[in-house]
Structure 1
């Protein structure tokens, strides 16, 4: 399996900077939606192409992608920094990680639900705000531990740095039906138990909303 880890920076050319208000809206939901469309500029080489890459916004105007193909040149980006991604892992290896994920679980009769939203909705409205981060920590850690059971790793520890809800634009109709999803930002430590399974899961991403900047796990050897 050949993968590519790439760093893409928005072009500083005047023709690209003129689109900044469209590419980088201030509101989180429209911003994620705009970046979702933007990243296709580097990977959609034909109209029938299906997404085969993961991405995340790393900082203002900078994105990381993990893909089965190198990103193509685009006038919207500077020349990408691309490197082969094929870590050699063995059982027992410990890795530090950073993951931005939309964590869900199946609820009978409902379908898939966000794990944190689901836990919050079980509380009275007045108690939700004070418990938000504590529930995000508990539910995020439990969800990622379950992911490890099928993805070849054991979660040693994780910390939720942030939990937010992205509301996508363009919806018309009742507010409760507006498309939205929760985003967990997690860092931590894991131990590899099954290297092939882990690498497959890493290439496919974790959780849902992968088209909107979730699912890409960044790893490095633990100290």
Structure 2
């Protein structure tokens, strides 16, 4: 395996850059990277990639502060001579032992499968929790999340709002639970807490599957989830989209072979869109 760092050549003009990156959403980057092997282009997608901002990585090579930098993991070494990119590659052979502690970052598409369909974990957790609250009020579930929230704010009594505050106080947003919040704000922070708990549970299940043990922090979180984003895929379908979230944390390697497979094969779906590549480094 090879881990490559791919940067735009600094001599590229603004016009060239705009032309190159106009199709960076959807399948655009996937197609772009598929061609960097030239005549040795793989028959199927067997690589993972991740997009970062070069300036934030301390890798800016031009005055364009928003230039991207890409990390690509592949079984074949990319062609170093490319008209658009500066490509630096090195063999990727992580030497790991059981008990090794690693910090990681990962852009991932967390989903739950229900009735053979994938559902975004955050949206699923929120809707299920809202429906449960309405059931406690003996109110029939409406069709969407927005309607659920309106009904709860209309009919929830003070005791139920107090219960929501308790949920907040037990989670990573505990400081908010001690604030003077309007009912609508209490509901929103409770929903944020529910989503965070769903992410924690999901990641622990991934640890069981991929040979690692999660390390918790003071809030009993195993990961920190940020940069939740919706991505549209018009080439696939006018309504098609997926959601990604950036997660960071620390873990302990338990099963070396399972964990190495997770590093090489990626975690979760949407790998063709820049998800699944776990970047790791040792914790001293």
- Normalised to the residue count of structure 2, the TM-score between the two structures is 0.67
User: Unaligned 5+ residue runs, structure 2?
Assistant: 54-66, 131-144, 150-183, 216-221
Residue correspondence of structure 1 range 79-98 to structure 2 within 5 A: 80-98=87-105
Equivalent residue for 2:119, pick from 109, 113, 116: 113
Which residue is equivalent to 2:71? 64
Query: 2:225, 2:256 → 1: CA distance?
Result: 25
Deviation at residue 44 of structure 1 after TM alignment: 6.4
1:23 to 20, 23, 38: 20
Give the Cα separation in 1 of the matches to 2:237 and 2:204: 37
- Give the gaps of 5 or more residues in structure 1: none
Matched residue, 1:165: 230
Cα deviations across residues 136-186 of structure 1 (Å, max 9, x unaligned)?
Answer: 42222221211111111011121112211111234665xxxx111110100
Q: If you compute each CA radius of gyration, which structure gives the higher value, 1 or 2?
A: 2
- Normalising by structure 1, we get a TM-score of 0.83
Q: 1:48 to 1:22 in 2, by over 3 A?
A: same
Shift of 1:135: 4.2
Partners of 1:166 and 1:44 lie apart in 2 by 29
Partner residue in 2 for 1:100: 107
Cα drift, residue 102 of structure 1: 0.6
Q: Is 1:35 paired with 2:36? A: no
* Structure holding more helix per residue: 2
The size of the alignment, in residue pairs, is 210
SS of residue paired to 1:200: helix
Q: Which residue of 2 aligns with 1:74?
A: 82
Runs of 4 or more, structure 1, over 6 Å off, are none
